[in-house]
Structure formats: C-alpha cells, structure tokens
Structure 1
Amino acid sequence: MNLIEYPDRDTLMRKTAQAIADDLTIALEQRDEVVLAVPGGTTPGPVFDILSATTLDWARVHVILTDERWVPESDAESNAALLRKRLLIGQAAAAKFTPYFTEGTDIASAAQNLSAQLEPILPVDVLLLGMGADMHTASLFPHAEGLQAALAEAAPMLLPVTVEGQKSMRFSLTAPVLRNAAKTHLLITGSDKRAALSRAASLPPEQAPVQIVLPNANVHWSAS
C-alpha cells in the first residue's frame, strides 16, 4: 500500500485525477482499448469533473462501474446516471460505457450475461475505488449476502450482492477483478476512514473487503 496524504480536499481531488489520467495515458500506449473502472457516490464527483475535461484518446477508453444498484437510470441512486452527468461529458463523452441495469430481466441473469460480455476486455487498466468506514469497497460489504461468492478465486466478473438494511440489490465487480487491476487508486477522506484503513490491513477480507486491493493500491487521503 502506498499512502499519499494531501493538505486539503481540493488538492486530493486534483492530484488523484492527474494520477488516473497519467495511468490511462500509459495504458493507451500499450493497448488498443483500455478499461477504466470507477465507483458512484458523491466523493469521486470532483475527480470525474476534472477527468471529463482532460485531453485523452477517450474513444479508446471503456468505462465500467465498480458497482451499481439494481435500479434504472431514472432513479436517484443510479451510479450510471451519475457518471453520465459528471464523467461522460466534455472530452470524456467519447468514451465507451456499459451500464449494468437491464430492463426485463433479473439481477442474477443480468450479472451472468454481463460477465460473459465484458470478461474479454479484462484486466482493468485503471481502477478507482472508495471505502466506507465499515471497510467495504465497491459493493463488497462485510458479511453481505453474496460476499463469499464474490471473494472466491474463480468468481465471475460481476455478482449480485444483498446488503442488510438497503432497499436495492447491487452488482459488484468481484475480488479477482479488483485484485488484478493494473493500477489501483483508493480515494478516502476523514479521520474515521483513515482509522478504518489501518484496521483493514490486519483483517481478513470477510471482515474488511477493502483488504483485497490494499497490497497494490495507491491510497489518496486528506483529513477533510
């Protein structure tokens, strides 16, 4: 784990976006099409704003989500809708994007079909993740229904996960996909998440799912 501390949130977001852009530039020199995997949520929004205005060969970048709720893009909880507003605009509008929610099917069938469709584009070249104070990452929550299957070495690319107390089922990239990304960036803020990061390093993935990516992660952190 490479922990990088920043003096404030603005610097954190700017430097993280630059690191991702630099990694994409290098990947584009090596592959015809590269894969950028990103989360939803509010925290990475400023990173998306910066990336969307960055000059890259976006037409050769395939953007996928690290996780998604089983909701249509008209729902306020849709990560795909967030990406369309914050990342897939400006320069980055030329990127390819595959949403996960599929009308007229169930989440398990959609996960199976999407895994078959998208596994040929792996590995992920650049991975951006967040982490909760509970040490979850993507939609891999401690003790969630479906976590054990998602942690398995032979797990498919995507699996459904059910989190107790949340109304929507979720898709998540699985542990093998997250672990095998060429470049991994973990974006966190606040003293509570810094403490959670320290705890996660000594816990098994069942208790701290973020642990699966920590050995190879660049962790970007600011106190506020």
Structure 2
Amino acid sequence: MIWHDYPDRDLLALDLAEVLADRLMSGLHHRERVCLAVPGGTSPGPVFDALSQVHLDWDRVDIMLTDERWVPEDSPRSNTALVRQRLLTGPASGARMIPLYADGARPEDRLDDLTRGIVPHLPIDVLLIGMGADMHTASLFPGADRLEEGLSDKAPILLPMRAPGAPEPRVTLTAPVLRGALDTHVLIMGEDKKTAIEKAAKLTPKEAPVACLLDGANIHYAA
C-alpha cells in the first residue's frame, strides 16, 4: 500500500480528483480511449464534483461502476444515477458510461449482455474504489453467497452477489478485474476505516475482500 494522508476531507476530494485527472490524461497520451472505474455510495460524491469540472478529452473516456445495486436508475439507491448526477456533468458530460444495470427481474438474466459491454474496455486504466468498515470492496462482501467465486483467479468478469444486510441483489466486478487495473486508488475516510484497512492488509481476501487489491494500491485517507 502507498499511503496518502490529507488534513481534511475537502482537500482529499480536490487533490484526489487532480490525481485521477492526471492519470487519465497520461493514459490518453498513449491510448485512443481510457477506462475509469468508480464506486457508488456517498464517499466519492465530492471527488466526482471536482473531477467533473476538469477539462480533458472526456469524449475519449469510458466510465463504469465497480458494482451496482440491482435497482432501476430512478431509485435513490442507484449508483448509476449518482454517477450521472455528480460525475457525468459539466466538462465530463462528454464521457461515455458503460452500463452495469439493465432492466430485468434478476441480474442473472442480463449478466451476459452486461459482460459483453465491459470486455472491450478492459483492463481498467484508472480504478477508484472504496471500502466498507466490514472490509468489503465493490460488492465483494464477507459472507456473500458467491464471494469465493468472485475472489478466484478464474472468476468471470461480472458476478451477481447477495450478502447479509444488503437489501437487494448486486452485480460486481470480480477480484481479477479489479486487481488488473493499471492504476488503483482506494478512498477511505474516518478512523474506523483506517483501522479496518490496516487490519485487512494482514488478512486473507476471504476474511477481508479488500485485501485482494491492496498490493501496490494508493490509499487516500482523511479523518
């Protein structure tokens, strides 16, 4: 892990957005298109706000979520809606979003279609990801029904996942896809998450799923 401490959350959001923009611009110097993978939830919102205002060739950037709750986009729990509202706006509105949700009663019904849309954009150029206090990342939750499959080196690109305490099914990128990102940034805030990630570094991915991607990752932290 490469640790980056920030004096407050506002500065973290601004500086991290600048780092992500620099990495995207660097990628665009060498490739026609780049892929940015991002988390849902509340923590990345301020980072999205800052990043969306950076001027770069957004029309050459593909954005995908690391995971999604299986809810329609008009749900307040939709990560897709969060990204559209706070990242795909202003200068960044020219970016293209790769869907991780499609209409269907179950994620299993649409998994093949969604996977086909992801394949051309791998490996991920820049990965921004979070971690829960339970040491989950994306929707790789401790105790989830298909966690072992999701952590396997032979895992498919995308898996449906159901976990204790998660009110709806999820779809998630699997460990090999996340681990294969060319540049990884983990966003954590609060003493509880600092303690959790330090603990995770000493555990197996089955015990602490975030451990699957910590090797060489940049950790961005503010209390």
| TM-score category, normalised to shorter length | over 0.9
What letter is aligned with 1:40? Answer: G
Alignment of 1:29-44 (within 5 A): 29-44=29-44
Residue 51 (structure 1) aligns with? 51
Matched-pair contact (CA < 8 Å) for 1:2–1:217? yes
Query: How far apart, in 2, do the equivalents of 1:15 and 1:30 lie?
Result: 24
Residue 115 (structure 1) aligns with? 115
Tell me the CA shift for residue 105 of structure 1.
Answer: 5.3
Matched-pair contact (CA < 8 Å) for 2:159–2:174? yes
Q: Aligned-residue CA RMSD in angstroms?
A: 1.0
Q: Which runs of 5+ in 2 are unaligned?
A: none
Query: How far apart, in 2, do the equivalents of 1:104 and 1:112 lie?
Result: 12
Query: How far apart, in 2, do the equivalents of 1:210 and 1:38 lie?
Result: 15
Query: How far apart, in 2, do the equivalents of 1:28 and 1:157 lie?
Result: 24
User: What TM-score results when the alignment is normalised by the length of structure 1?
Assistant: 0.97
CA deviations 1:132-161 (Å, max 9, x no partner) are: 111011111112111111111121211010
What letter is aligned with 1:190? Answer: G
- Please give the secondary structure, in 1, of the residue aligned with 2:35: strand
Higher alpha-carbon deviation: 79-88 or 107-116: 107-116
Tell me the CA shift for residue 106 of structure 1.
Answer: 2.8
Residue 157 (structure 1) aligns with? 157
Tell me the CA shift for residue 98 of structure 1.
Answer: 1.9
* CA pair 201-100 structure 1, distance change in 2 beyond 3 A: same
Query: How far apart, in 1, do the equivalents of 2:104 and 2:134 lie?
Result: 33
Tell me the CA shift for residue 164 of structure 1.
Answer: 1.2
Query: How far apart, in 2, do the equivalents of 1:54 and 1:117 lie?
Result: 26
Tell me the CA shift for residue 109 of structure 1.
Answer: 3.0
Query: How far apart, in 1, do the equivalents of 2:103 and 2:140 lie?
Result: 24
CA deviations 1:24-78 (Å, max 9, x no partner) are: 0111111111100001111110100011100010000000000000000011100
Does 2:25 align with 1:25? yes
- Please give the secondary structure, in 1, of the residue aligned with 2:186: strand
* CA pair 188-104 structure 1, distance change in 2 beyond 3 A: closer
User: What TM-score results when the alignment is normalised by the length of structure 2?
Assistant: 0.97
Residue 85 (structure 1) aligns with? 85
Query: How far apart, in 2, do the equivalents of 1:126 and 1:75 lie?
Result: 27
Structure 1 runs (4+) deviating above 4 angstroms are none
Residue 5 (structure 2) aligns with? 5
Percent same amino acid at aligned positions? Answer: 52
